[in-house]
């Protein structure tokens, strides 16, 4: 159930968004050793965002995963920051990432919970 949400004000063509979604899905499955069939990636282009008083390209990411390995968040942060840098052109210093590991009973799927 790894779910990655990417919010950004970077401007991309539709084909570039498709490439980002595919790359993020594959990379997240590999990083978390989960089947890609369980991975969800949400890309939200947001026209209005500001960080540090500037509206230059930036990104806010949220990664939720059951059993998220907290000791690996620095590694995950580096990999996800590199991903958005490559696909969105957003510098590392303009990326925030929120990590969370919800309890299984608080994450629903297929009409039930995990």
| Residues forming beta bridges with residue 54, ordered by sequence position | 51
Total residue length of the chain: 114
Q: How far apart are CA 46 and CA 11, in angstroms?
A: 9
Supply the residues annotated as catalytic. 2
Contact between 91 and 52 under an 8 Å Cβ cutoff? The reply is: no
Q: How far apart are CA 44 and CA 69, in angstroms?
A: 25
Q: How far apart are CA 45 and CA 108, in angstroms?
A: 25
Q: How far apart are CA 52 and CA 32, in angstroms?
A: 31
């Amino acid at each position: 159930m790894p779910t990655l949400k990417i919010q950004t004000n970077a401007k991309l063509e539709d084909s570039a968004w498709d490439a980002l979604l595919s790359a993020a899905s594959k990379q997240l499955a590999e990083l978390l050793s989960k089947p890609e069939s369980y991975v969800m990636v949400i890309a939200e282009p947001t026209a209005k965002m500001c960080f540090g008083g500037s509206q230059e390209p930036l990104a806010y990411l949220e990664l939720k995963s059951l059993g998220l390995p907290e000791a690996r968040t620095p590694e995950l942060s580096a990999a996800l920051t590199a991903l958005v840098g490559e696909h969105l052109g957003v510098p590392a210093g303009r990326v925030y990432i929120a990590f969370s590991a919800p309890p299984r009973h608080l994450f629903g799927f297929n009409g039930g919970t995990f």
